[in-house]
Amino acid sequence: METNEKSSHIEQSSDDKWRLWVQKRNKLLLQRRRMERQPFSVEEIGLVCTQAKEGFAAQSSLLEPQPPLNICGDLHGQFHDLLRLLNYGGYPPKTRYLFLGDYVDRGPMSLETVMLLLLYKIRYADEVFLLRGNHEFENLNSVYGFKAEILRRYEDPNVWKQFNEMFNWMPLAALIKRRILCMHGGISMELTNWDQIRCLPRPMSFPVDAVSTDLMWADPVQNQKGWRGSVRGISYGFGEDAVYKFCRYMDIDMIVRAHQVVQNGYEFFASNHLITVFSAPNYCGVFNNDAGMVRVSRKLKCTVKQFRPPKPMSIKYVNKKSASKK
């Protein structure tokens, strides 16, 4: 198989060669400081997506990762900020991670961002956990930058399609020691038992019911009671009382979610029963927000780490005007 550097032959059936290749490309991405037009060949992307898809298919839609671990929110193609997070939080496999989705769109290096995470997932399946965000659905990433980036760099729509076929198998939520529920969006008034998540059908090319829709799209809303239709035009906004009721009924202590830009990189809600974490600093180059990361200890103590935005760089973002809609 030809790569952009030198000709090399990689076959998925050759486990040793495959592992060595994944390890090598993983290390090369960690050292990358500038964008290359095609850092991977089309065939390499296909192999990684296939391997990742098989790994996701073997997992439940409701993951149950063990603490301690770091939880990260939206990244949106801000690859160099992902490198900063890993440098500060520690690298797998010594540090376990749970990412809450929205790896692509808007930022300039969605390809590198998602490929680095997939390579880590392939190498360390028990130490790196990836949930699906609403931007890992074709109807969004065809509009907000990922498709345009792939077509600009590869001129092949099948590359973009391969990513979305893999996204369709990603899990939607995680439950840590049956006490901390994690997802990209929010809770659902229709969710009454964990098997509703475990039994969600995959591959899932679009949310199939209220539970899957809310896990991707729902938001906490200050000064609101109960549930109301979301200003996004999909799913719901929920008040503090809904969080208290949900936590009591499902017998959990905390909810960790992403999906919204928050100025400090994190924001508590409902007397610390819910926390929003957002891990893309200076989102789209206009928000000047911090990034956040939640650390969960072995005893389930949660602490939040903040990262200031890096010094300004000349970076092109996609759809800056619509970024606040998330």
pLDDT of residue 195: 98
pLDDT at 7 over 70: no
Catalytic residue among 76, 80, 135, 273: 135
Question: Global pTM?
Answer: 0.91
pLDDT at 248 over 60: yes
Token couple for 196: 């509703």
pLDDT at 117 over 90: yes
pLDDT at 254 over 60: yes
Give tens-digit pLDDT for 189-240.
Answer: 999 999 999 999 999 999 999 999 999 999 999 999 999 999 999 999 999 9
Mean pLDDT in residue range 253-267: 98
Q: How far is CA 113 from CA 76, 119, 125, 196, 200, in A?
A: 8, 10, 17, 30, 27
Mean pLDDT in residue range 302-316: 79
Mean pLDDT in residue range 142-147: 98
Mean pLDDT score across all residues of the chain: 91
**b/e per residue, 209-231, with b = 16+ CB within 10 A?**
ebbbbbbbbbbbbeeeeebeebe
Interatomic CA distance for residues 28 and 87, integer angstroms: 15
State percent of the chain over pLDDT 70. 90
pLDDT band at 18 (very low <50, low <70, confident <90, very high): confident
pLDDT at 188 over 50: yes
Interatomic CA distance for residues 308 and 292, integer angstroms: 9
pLDDT of residue 26: 87
Give tens-digit pLDDT for 156-187.
Answer: 999 999 999 999 999 999 999 999 999 999 99
Domains and CATH numbers, the chain: 22-33+40-311 (3.60.21.10)
pLDDT of residue 33: 66
pLDDT band at 43 (very low <50, low <70, confident <90, very high): very high
Q: Which of 67, 209, 22, 212 shows the shortest CA–CA distance to 131?
A: 212
Q: Residue 80 catalytic?
A: no
Interatomic CA distance for residues 287 and 309, integer angstroms: 10
